[in-house]
Amino acid sequence: MSDLRALLDEPWLVLTGWSVVLSLWSTAIAALGHEAWRILGSRATAPAQYRAALVSLGAALAISLATPVVLAVAARAAEMTAPAAQTHPLTLAARAPASTRTDTPRAIVRQEGARSDSSTHRWALHVPALGLAFVGLLWFSGVAVGLVRLLGGWFVANRVGARAALIDGGPIHDTFEHMRGQTHVDHARLAVSLDVEAPVAIGVTSPTVVVPGHLLDHLPPDVLAPILAHELSHVARHDYAVNLAQCVAEVLLFHSPATWWLGRRIREAREFCCDDSAVAVAGDRAKYVEALTLVARLGALTGARPVLGMAGPRLITRVRRLLEGEPTVTLPYVRSAAIVTLAVLLAVAVPQPFNAASAQLSARLFAAGAQENRAVPIGFPQRQDGSALRIHRVESTDTHVCGAFDVQNVSTVGVTRVRFIGILSFSAAANRPVQVVESDMHDTASAPGSQVRL
Protein backbone atom coordinates (compact mmCIF):
# COMPACT_ATOMS: atom_id res chain seq x y z
CA MET A 1 0.00 0.00 0.00
CA SER A 2 2.86 2.34 0.84
CA ASP A 3 4.46 1.57 -2.53
CA LEU A 4 1.22 2.57 -4.31
CA ARG A 5 1.05 5.82 -2.36
CA ALA A 6 4.67 6.55 -3.20
CA LEU A 7 3.92 5.87 -6.87
CA LEU A 8 0.88 8.16 -6.85
CA ASP A 9 3.07 10.93 -5.43
CA GLU A 10 5.33 10.91 -8.49
CA PRO A 11 5.24 14.27 -10.37
CA TRP A 12 5.30 12.60 -13.80
CA LEU A 13 2.15 10.69 -12.90
CA VAL A 14 0.41 13.95 -11.98
CA LEU A 15 1.61 15.36 -15.31
CA THR A 16 0.09 12.36 -17.09
CA GLY A 17 -3.20 12.85 -15.24
CA TRP A 18 -3.37 16.48 -16.29
CA SER A 19 -2.59 15.49 -19.89
CA VAL A 20 -5.43 12.95 -19.88
CA VAL A 21 -7.89 15.52 -18.51
CA LEU A 22 -6.85 18.19 -21.02
CA SER A 23 -7.00 15.69 -23.90
CA LEU A 24 -10.75 15.42 -23.29
CA TRP A 25 -10.95 19.06 -24.33
CA SER A 26 -8.80 18.70 -27.44
CA THR A 27 -10.57 15.58 -28.72
CA ALA A 28 -14.01 17.06 -28.06
CA ILE A 29 -13.14 20.24 -29.94
CA ALA A 30 -11.78 18.17 -32.85
CA ALA A 31 -14.95 16.06 -32.97
CA LEU A 32 -17.22 19.11 -32.80
CA GLY A 33 -15.20 20.79 -35.53
CA HIS A 34 -15.55 17.73 -37.72
CA GLU A 35 -19.30 17.59 -37.09
CA ALA A 36 -19.59 21.25 -38.05
CA TRP A 37 -17.68 20.48 -41.27
CA ARG A 38 -20.08 17.61 -42.01
CA ILE A 39 -23.07 19.93 -41.60
CA LEU A 40 -21.58 22.61 -43.84
CA GLY A 41 -20.35 20.12 -46.44
CA SER A 42 -23.24 17.70 -46.22
CA ARG A 43 -22.82 16.57 -49.83
CA ALA A 44 -19.07 16.01 -49.64
CA THR A 45 -17.68 13.01 -51.47
CA ALA A 46 -16.57 9.91 -49.62
CA PRO A 47 -12.83 10.65 -50.12
CA ALA A 48 -13.34 14.16 -48.74
CA GLN A 49 -15.18 12.74 -45.70
CA TYR A 50 -12.37 10.25 -45.18
CA ARG A 51 -9.63 12.88 -45.33
CA ALA A 52 -11.51 15.24 -43.01
CA ALA A 53 -12.07 12.52 -40.40
CA LEU A 54 -8.40 11.48 -40.56
CA VAL A 55 -7.25 15.07 -40.15
CA SER A 56 -9.56 15.55 -37.16
CA LEU A 57 -8.31 12.41 -35.43
CA GLY A 58 -4.70 13.24 -36.28
CA ALA A 59 -5.08 16.76 -34.88
CA ALA A 60 -6.65 15.43 -31.67
CA LEU A 61 -3.81 12.91 -31.26
CA ALA A 62 -1.07 15.44 -32.01
CA ILE A 63 -2.46 17.96 -29.52
CA SER A 64 -2.90 15.28 -26.86
CA LEU A 65 0.67 14.01 -27.28
CA ALA A 66 2.04 17.56 -27.23
CA THR A 67 0.10 18.48 -24.08
CA PRO A 68 2.59 17.06 -21.52
CA VAL A 69 5.49 18.78 -23.27
CA VAL A 70 3.65 22.10 -23.39
CA LEU A 71 2.61 21.70 -19.75
CA ALA A 72 6.20 21.08 -18.69
CA VAL A 73 7.38 24.16 -20.61
CA ALA A 74 4.57 26.27 -19.14
CA ALA A 75 5.36 24.99 -15.66
CA ARG A 76 9.01 25.92 -16.14
CA ALA A 77 8.00 29.40 -17.34
CA ALA A 78 5.68 29.83 -14.36
CA GLU A 79 8.47 28.75 -12.02
CA MET A 80 11.01 31.13 -13.53
CA THR A 81 8.67 34.12 -13.47
CA ALA A 82 7.31 33.51 -9.96
CA PRO A 83 8.27 36.30 -7.54
CA ALA A 84 10.95 35.55 -4.97
CA ALA A 85 9.57 34.17 -1.75
CA GLN A 86 10.12 35.36 1.73
CA THR A 87 12.27 32.75 3.34
CA HIS A 88 11.54 32.03 6.95
CA PRO A 89 14.34 32.31 9.54
CA LEU A 90 16.82 29.58 10.08
CA THR A 91 16.55 28.14 13.54
CA LEU A 92 19.25 26.56 15.58
CA ALA A 93 19.55 23.77 18.12
CA ALA A 94 22.47 23.30 20.44
CA ARG A 95 23.14 20.54 22.95
CA ALA A 96 25.56 20.64 25.82
CA PRO A 97 27.55 17.64 27.08
CA ALA A 98 25.57 15.08 29.05
CA SER A 99 27.65 15.66 32.20
CA THR A 100 26.51 19.28 32.43
CA ARG A 101 23.02 18.82 31.04
CA THR A 102 21.33 20.13 34.19
CA ASP A 103 23.26 23.38 33.91
CA THR A 104 22.84 23.82 30.20
CA PRO A 105 20.17 26.02 28.71
CA ARG A 106 17.62 23.78 27.06
CA ALA A 107 18.17 23.36 23.31
CA ILE A 108 15.20 24.51 21.26
CA VAL A 109 13.91 24.18 17.73
CA ARG A 110 11.61 27.10 17.07
CA GLN A 111 9.89 28.10 13.83
CA GLU A 112 9.56 31.80 14.51
CA GLY A 113 7.53 33.56 11.89
CA ALA A 114 6.95 30.31 10.04
CA ARG A 115 3.40 31.04 9.00
CA SER A 116 1.76 28.45 6.79
CA ASP A 117 -0.10 30.39 4.12
CA SER A 118 -3.23 28.50 3.20
CA SER A 119 -2.91 29.78 -0.34
CA THR A 120 0.10 27.55 -0.85
CA HIS A 121 -2.20 24.55 -0.47
CA ARG A 122 -5.06 25.98 -2.45
CA TRP A 123 -4.40 23.81 -5.47
CA ALA A 124 -4.82 20.69 -3.34
CA LEU A 125 -8.40 21.71 -2.57
CA HIS A 126 -9.44 22.45 -6.11
CA VAL A 127 -7.30 20.02 -8.10
CA PRO A 128 -6.30 17.05 -5.93
CA ALA A 129 -2.92 15.77 -7.05
CA LEU A 130 -3.71 12.29 -5.74
CA GLY A 131 -6.76 12.06 -8.00
CA LEU A 132 -4.77 13.25 -11.01
CA ALA A 133 -2.05 10.69 -10.31
CA PHE A 134 -4.71 7.99 -10.08
CA VAL A 135 -6.10 9.11 -13.45
CA GLY A 136 -2.60 8.86 -14.91
CA LEU A 137 -2.18 5.36 -13.47
CA LEU A 138 -5.54 4.28 -14.93
CA TRP A 139 -4.51 5.68 -18.32
CA PHE A 140 -1.28 3.65 -18.36
CA SER A 141 -3.25 0.55 -17.39
CA GLY A 142 -5.86 1.14 -20.09
CA VAL A 143 -3.22 1.70 -22.77
CA ALA A 144 -1.46 -1.52 -21.74
CA VAL A 145 -4.70 -3.51 -22.02
CA GLY A 146 -5.57 -1.87 -25.34
CA LEU A 147 -2.16 -2.61 -26.85
CA VAL A 148 -2.41 -6.25 -25.79
CA ARG A 149 -5.82 -6.54 -27.46
CA LEU A 150 -4.55 -4.79 -30.59
CA LEU A 151 -1.54 -7.08 -30.83
CA GLY A 152 -3.84 -10.06 -30.32
CA GLY A 153 -6.10 -8.95 -33.17
CA TRP A 154 -3.11 -8.34 -35.42
CA PHE A 155 -1.75 -11.79 -34.59
CA VAL A 156 -5.10 -13.44 -35.37
CA ALA A 157 -5.37 -11.60 -38.70
CA ASN A 158 -1.85 -12.63 -39.70
CA ARG A 159 -2.53 -16.22 -38.68
CA VAL A 160 -5.69 -16.24 -40.81
CA GLY A 161 -3.67 -14.98 -43.77
CA ALA A 162 -0.93 -17.53 -43.21
CA ARG A 163 -3.37 -20.45 -42.89
CA ALA A 164 -5.40 -19.45 -45.96
CA ALA A 165 -4.89 -21.60 -49.07
CA LEU A 166 -3.66 -19.66 -52.09
CA ILE A 167 -5.70 -19.88 -55.32
CA ASP A 168 -3.41 -20.08 -58.33
CA GLY A 169 -5.88 -20.98 -61.09
CA GLY A 170 -9.48 -21.43 -62.10
CA PRO A 171 -12.28 -19.02 -63.02
CA ILE A 172 -12.19 -17.15 -59.71
CA HIS A 173 -8.44 -16.56 -60.11
CA ASP A 174 -8.97 -15.21 -63.62
CA THR A 175 -11.66 -12.88 -62.32
CA PHE A 176 -9.35 -11.74 -59.53
CA GLU A 177 -6.55 -11.00 -61.99
CA HIS A 178 -8.94 -8.97 -64.15
CA MET A 179 -10.10 -6.95 -61.13
CA ARG A 180 -6.49 -6.47 -60.07
CA GLY A 181 -5.75 -4.86 -63.40
CA GLN A 182 -8.86 -2.69 -63.16
CA THR A 183 -7.92 -1.38 -59.71
CA HIS A 184 -4.20 -0.95 -60.65
CA VAL A 185 -2.92 -3.21 -57.88
CA ASP A 186 0.47 -4.66 -58.77
CA HIS A 187 0.96 -7.14 -55.93
CA ALA A 188 -1.86 -8.97 -54.25
CA ARG A 189 -2.72 -12.64 -53.79
CA LEU A 190 -6.02 -14.48 -53.63
CA ALA A 191 -6.63 -17.12 -50.97
CA VAL A 192 -9.53 -19.07 -49.49
CA SER A 193 -10.18 -19.67 -45.78
CA LEU A 194 -12.86 -20.99 -43.46
CA ASP A 195 -11.96 -18.46 -40.73
CA VAL A 196 -13.65 -15.43 -42.30
CA GLU A 197 -17.29 -14.68 -43.01
CA ALA A 198 -16.68 -12.19 -45.85
CA PRO A 199 -13.82 -11.28 -48.19
CA VAL A 200 -11.14 -9.28 -46.43
CA ALA A 201 -7.74 -7.81 -47.36
CA ILE A 202 -4.94 -8.71 -44.94
CA GLY A 203 -1.30 -7.60 -44.86
CA VAL A 204 0.82 -4.54 -45.50
CA THR A 205 3.87 -5.57 -47.53
CA SER A 206 2.33 -8.72 -49.05
CA PRO A 207 -1.44 -8.13 -49.09
CA THR A 208 -3.75 -11.10 -49.49
CA VAL A 209 -7.44 -11.01 -50.33
CA VAL A 210 -8.96 -13.85 -48.33
CA VAL A 211 -12.31 -15.22 -49.52
CA PRO A 212 -14.47 -17.51 -47.34
CA GLY A 213 -14.86 -21.00 -48.74
CA HIS A 214 -18.67 -20.97 -48.65
CA LEU A 215 -18.77 -18.06 -51.12
CA LEU A 216 -16.82 -20.01 -53.72
CA ASP A 217 -19.29 -22.88 -53.30
CA HIS A 218 -22.45 -20.78 -53.72
CA LEU A 219 -21.59 -17.71 -55.83
CA PRO A 220 -20.19 -17.63 -59.39
CA PRO A 221 -17.09 -15.55 -60.17
CA ASP A 222 -19.02 -12.81 -62.00
CA VAL A 223 -21.09 -12.13 -58.84
CA LEU A 224 -17.95 -12.01 -56.71
CA ALA A 225 -16.12 -9.68 -59.13
CA PRO A 226 -17.31 -6.36 -57.59
CA ILE A 227 -16.67 -7.73 -54.09
CA LEU A 228 -13.11 -8.56 -55.08
CA ALA A 229 -12.80 -5.07 -56.58
CA HIS A 230 -13.87 -3.61 -53.24
CA GLU A 231 -11.15 -5.50 -51.35
CA LEU A 232 -8.53 -4.64 -53.94
CA SER A 233 -9.46 -0.99 -53.47
CA HIS A 234 -8.52 -1.40 -49.81
CA VAL A 235 -5.14 -2.73 -50.96
CA ALA A 236 -4.64 0.13 -53.43
CA ARG A 237 -5.45 2.68 -50.72
CA HIS A 238 -3.19 0.99 -48.09
CA ASP A 239 -6.18 0.83 -45.75
CA TYR A 240 -4.81 -2.07 -43.70
CA ALA A 241 -1.80 -0.01 -42.56
CA VAL A 242 -3.92 3.10 -41.99
CA ASN A 243 -6.39 1.05 -39.95
CA LEU A 244 -3.57 -0.22 -37.71
CA ALA A 245 -2.34 3.34 -37.14
CA GLN A 246 -5.90 4.40 -36.38
CA CYS A 247 -6.23 1.59 -33.84
CA VAL A 248 -3.04 2.74 -32.09
CA ALA A 249 -4.44 6.28 -31.88
CA GLU A 250 -7.68 4.93 -30.44
CA VAL A 251 -5.73 2.97 -27.81
CA LEU A 252 -3.80 6.07 -26.74
CA LEU A 253 -7.03 8.11 -26.56
CA PHE A 254 -9.27 5.31 -25.32
CA HIS A 255 -10.58 7.53 -22.52
CA SER A 256 -12.16 10.00 -24.94
CA PRO A 257 -15.65 9.30 -26.36
CA ALA A 258 -14.92 11.82 -29.12
CA THR A 259 -12.07 9.60 -30.33
CA TRP A 260 -14.34 6.60 -30.79
CA TRP A 261 -16.88 8.75 -32.63
CA LEU A 262 -14.18 9.99 -35.02
CA GLY A 263 -13.00 6.40 -35.47
CA ARG A 264 -16.46 5.33 -36.60
CA ARG A 265 -16.57 8.20 -39.08
CA ILE A 266 -13.21 7.11 -40.53
CA ARG A 267 -14.25 3.47 -40.94
CA GLU A 268 -17.56 4.49 -42.45
CA ALA A 269 -15.95 6.80 -45.00
CA ARG A 270 -13.30 4.17 -45.79
CA GLU A 271 -15.95 1.64 -46.78
CA PHE A 272 -17.83 4.26 -48.76
CA CYS A 273 -14.68 5.02 -50.78
CA CYS A 274 -14.17 1.35 -51.63
CA ASP A 275 -17.87 0.92 -52.47
CA ASP A 276 -17.61 3.76 -54.99
CA SER A 277 -14.46 2.22 -56.47
CA ALA A 278 -16.15 -1.19 -56.79
CA VAL A 279 -19.17 0.34 -58.51
CA ALA A 280 -16.89 2.19 -60.94
CA VAL A 281 -15.09 -1.05 -61.80
CA ALA A 282 -18.23 -3.21 -62.00
CA GLY A 283 -20.19 -0.58 -63.94
CA ASP A 284 -23.49 -1.72 -62.40
CA ARG A 285 -24.61 -0.32 -59.03
CA ALA A 286 -27.55 -2.74 -58.69
CA LYS A 287 -25.28 -5.72 -59.37
CA TYR A 288 -22.90 -4.63 -56.63
CA VAL A 289 -25.73 -4.12 -54.12
CA GLU A 290 -27.04 -7.60 -54.93
CA ALA A 291 -23.59 -9.09 -54.40
CA LEU A 292 -23.28 -7.34 -51.01
CA THR A 293 -26.59 -8.70 -49.78
CA LEU A 294 -25.80 -12.22 -50.99
CA VAL A 295 -22.44 -12.20 -49.19
CA ALA A 296 -24.08 -10.95 -45.99
CA ARG A 297 -26.85 -13.55 -46.19
CA LEU A 298 -24.46 -16.45 -46.74
CA GLY A 299 -22.19 -15.22 -43.91
CA ALA A 300 -25.12 -15.11 -41.50
CA LEU A 301 -26.18 -18.63 -42.47
CA THR A 302 -22.74 -20.17 -42.01
CA GLY A 303 -21.90 -18.28 -38.79
CA ALA A 304 -18.22 -17.93 -39.71
CA ARG A 305 -15.88 -16.00 -37.38
CA PRO A 306 -14.82 -12.58 -38.72
CA VAL A 307 -11.31 -11.19 -38.53
CA LEU A 308 -10.92 -8.92 -35.51
CA GLY A 309 -10.75 -5.16 -35.96
CA MET A 310 -11.97 -5.01 -39.57
CA ALA A 311 -15.64 -4.19 -38.96
CA GLY A 312 -17.05 -1.28 -40.94
CA PRO A 313 -20.44 0.40 -41.03
CA ARG A 314 -23.65 -1.61 -41.10
CA LEU A 315 -24.56 -3.12 -44.45
CA ILE A 316 -27.93 -1.36 -44.46
CA THR A 317 -26.12 2.00 -44.30
CA ARG A 318 -23.92 1.15 -47.26
CA VAL A 319 -26.77 -0.23 -49.36
CA ARG A 320 -28.96 2.79 -48.69
CA ARG A 321 -26.15 5.13 -49.69
CA LEU A 322 -25.52 3.17 -52.90
CA LEU A 323 -29.19 3.27 -53.84
CA GLU A 324 -30.14 6.76 -52.63
CA GLY A 325 -26.87 8.63 -52.95
CA GLU A 326 -24.78 10.48 -50.37
CA PRO A 327 -26.91 11.14 -47.28
CA THR A 328 -27.44 14.73 -46.23
CA VAL A 329 -26.24 15.55 -42.74
CA THR A 330 -29.00 17.70 -41.28
CA LEU A 331 -29.56 18.82 -37.73
CA PRO A 332 -32.35 20.87 -36.16
CA TYR A 333 -31.48 24.51 -35.55
CA VAL A 334 -31.54 23.99 -31.78
CA ARG A 335 -29.10 21.07 -31.98
CA SER A 336 -26.84 22.94 -34.42
CA ALA A 337 -26.78 25.95 -32.11
CA ALA A 338 -25.99 23.67 -29.18
CA ILE A 339 -23.02 22.14 -31.03
CA VAL A 340 -21.61 25.57 -31.92
CA THR A 341 -22.14 26.85 -28.38
CA LEU A 342 -20.48 23.80 -26.85
CA ALA A 343 -17.48 24.12 -29.17
CA VAL A 344 -17.04 27.79 -28.24
CA LEU A 345 -17.39 27.07 -24.52
CA LEU A 346 -14.82 24.29 -24.68
CA ALA A 347 -12.37 26.50 -26.56
CA VAL A 348 -12.85 29.36 -24.08
CA ALA A 349 -12.58 27.06 -21.05
CA VAL A 350 -9.24 25.51 -22.10
CA PRO A 351 -6.98 28.20 -20.54
CA GLN A 352 -8.40 27.75 -17.04
CA PRO A 353 -7.49 24.07 -16.49
CA PHE A 354 -4.27 24.58 -18.46
CA ASN A 355 -3.17 27.41 -16.18
CA ALA A 356 -4.12 25.39 -13.12
CA ALA A 357 -2.09 22.46 -14.45
CA SER A 358 1.02 24.53 -15.18
CA ALA A 359 0.81 26.21 -11.76
CA GLN A 360 0.50 22.90 -9.95
CA LEU A 361 3.23 21.21 -11.96
CA SER A 362 5.64 24.09 -11.38
CA ALA A 363 5.59 23.07 -7.73
CA ARG A 364 6.05 19.36 -8.39
CA LEU A 365 8.35 19.11 -11.40
CA PHE A 366 11.04 21.53 -10.29
CA ALA A 367 12.87 21.56 -6.99
CA ALA A 368 13.39 24.67 -4.90
CA GLY A 369 16.32 26.77 -5.98
CA ALA A 370 17.11 24.46 -8.89
CA GLN A 371 17.37 27.34 -11.36
CA GLU A 372 20.87 28.56 -11.99
CA ASN A 373 21.79 32.21 -11.42
CA ARG A 374 18.68 32.79 -9.35
CA ALA A 375 19.13 34.33 -5.91
CA VAL A 376 17.50 32.55 -3.01
CA PRO A 377 16.81 35.06 -0.21
CA ILE A 378 17.72 33.83 3.27
CA GLY A 379 17.23 35.28 6.70
CA PHE A 380 17.99 34.15 10.24
CA PRO A 381 17.58 35.30 13.85
CA GLN A 382 20.91 36.19 15.41
CA ARG A 383 19.74 34.81 18.70
CA GLN A 384 16.78 32.87 20.02
CA ASP A 385 15.60 33.02 23.58
CA GLY A 386 16.94 30.04 25.50
CA SER A 387 19.49 29.05 22.85
CA ALA A 388 23.14 28.52 23.72
CA LEU A 389 24.43 29.88 20.38
CA ARG A 390 24.17 33.08 18.40
CA ILE A 391 24.49 33.18 14.59
CA HIS A 392 26.67 36.04 13.35
CA ARG A 393 26.95 35.21 9.67
CA VAL A 394 25.60 32.80 7.01
CA GLU A 395 27.36 32.31 3.66
CA SER A 396 26.59 30.25 0.57
CA THR A 397 28.99 27.65 -0.75
CA ASP A 398 29.30 25.81 -4.05
CA THR A 399 27.10 23.00 -2.78
CA HIS A 400 24.61 24.66 -0.40
CA VAL A 401 22.71 27.92 -0.24
CA CYS A 402 23.34 28.05 3.52
CA GLY A 403 26.71 26.34 3.58
CA ALA A 404 28.79 28.10 6.25
CA PHE A 405 27.80 29.53 9.65
CA ASP A 406 29.75 31.74 12.04
CA VAL A 407 28.28 31.05 15.50
CA GLN A 408 29.24 32.15 19.00
CA ASN A 409 28.64 30.34 22.25
CA VAL A 410 26.85 32.88 24.44
CA SER A 411 26.18 30.44 27.29
CA THR A 412 28.27 29.57 30.34
CA VAL A 413 28.84 25.96 29.28
CA GLY A 414 30.58 24.29 26.37
CA VAL A 415 28.68 23.03 23.30
CA THR A 416 29.80 19.80 21.65
CA ARG A 417 27.17 19.11 18.94
CA VAL A 418 25.08 21.37 16.71
CA ARG A 419 22.27 20.77 14.25
CA PHE A 420 20.79 23.39 11.90
CA ILE A 421 17.14 23.42 10.88
CA GLY A 422 15.91 25.44 7.90
CA ILE A 423 12.30 26.49 7.37
CA LEU A 424 11.74 27.10 3.66
CA SER A 425 8.65 28.72 2.19
CA PHE A 426 7.73 29.87 -1.28
CA SER A 427 5.57 32.52 -2.87
CA ALA A 428 1.85 31.84 -3.07
CA ALA A 429 2.03 32.07 -6.88
CA ALA A 430 4.32 29.03 -6.93
CA ASN A 431 1.73 26.96 -5.06
CA ARG A 432 4.29 25.23 -2.86
CA PRO A 433 3.97 24.07 0.73
CA VAL A 434 6.42 24.93 3.50
CA GLN A 435 9.33 22.52 3.78
CA VAL A 436 11.57 21.73 6.77
CA VAL A 437 15.19 20.75 6.08
CA GLU A 438 17.49 19.43 8.83
CA SER A 439 21.25 19.08 8.73
CA ASP A 440 23.24 16.27 10.29
CA MET A 441 24.64 16.68 13.78
CA HIS A 442 28.01 18.47 13.63
CA ASP A 443 30.67 17.89 16.27
CA THR A 444 32.21 21.07 17.58
CA ALA A 445 34.23 22.30 20.56
CA SER A 446 32.71 25.64 21.40
CA ALA A 447 33.78 26.94 24.77
CA PRO A 448 31.76 29.66 26.49
CA GLY A 449 32.28 32.96 24.71
CA SER A 450 34.15 31.43 21.74
CA GLN A 451 33.21 31.77 18.07
CA VAL A 452 33.48 28.92 15.55
CA ARG A 453 32.78 28.44 11.86
CA LEU A 454 30.64 25.45 10.87
pLDDT in tens, 251-262: 999 999 999 999
Does the predicted TM-score (pTM) go above 0.75? Answer: no
Please report, as a single letter, which amino acid is at residue 310.
Answer: M
List Cβ neighbours of 343 (8 Å cut-off, separation of 6 or more).
Answer: 29, 32, 33, 36
Distance CA 223, CA 203 (A): 25
Q: Is 244 left (phi over 0), alpha (psi -120 to 50) or beta?
A: alpha
pLDDT in tens, 138-158: 999 999 999 999 999 889 888
Distance CA 322, CA 318 (A): 6
Burial tier of 421 (Cβ tally within 10 Å: 0-12, 13-18, 19+): middle
Distance of CA 62 to the CA centre of its chain: 10
pLDDT at 355: 66
Give the Å distances, CA to CA, from 200 to 52, 94, 195, 308.
Answer: 25, 82, 11, 11
Burial tier of 168 (Cβ tally within 10 Å: 0-12, 13-18, 19+): exposed
Lowest mean pLDDT among 98-102, 240-244, 343-347, 398-402: 98-102
Residue that wins the pLDDT comparison between 442 and 330: 442
pLDDT in tens, 54-109: 999 999 999 999 988 888 777 776 655 554 433 333 333 333 333 333 333 333 33
Residue that wins the pLDDT comparison between 127 and 198: 198
Give the Å distances, CA to CA, from 418 to 15, 29, 57.
Answer: 40, 60, 63
Q: Average pLDDT in the 436-448 region?
A: 84
383 confidence band (pLDDT: 50, 70, 90)? low
Distance CA 395, CA 6 (A): 35
pLDDT at 110: 33
pLDDT at 161: 86
pLDDT value at 209 more than 60: yes
Q: Average pLDDT in the 329-336 region?
A: 56
pLDDT at 350: 61
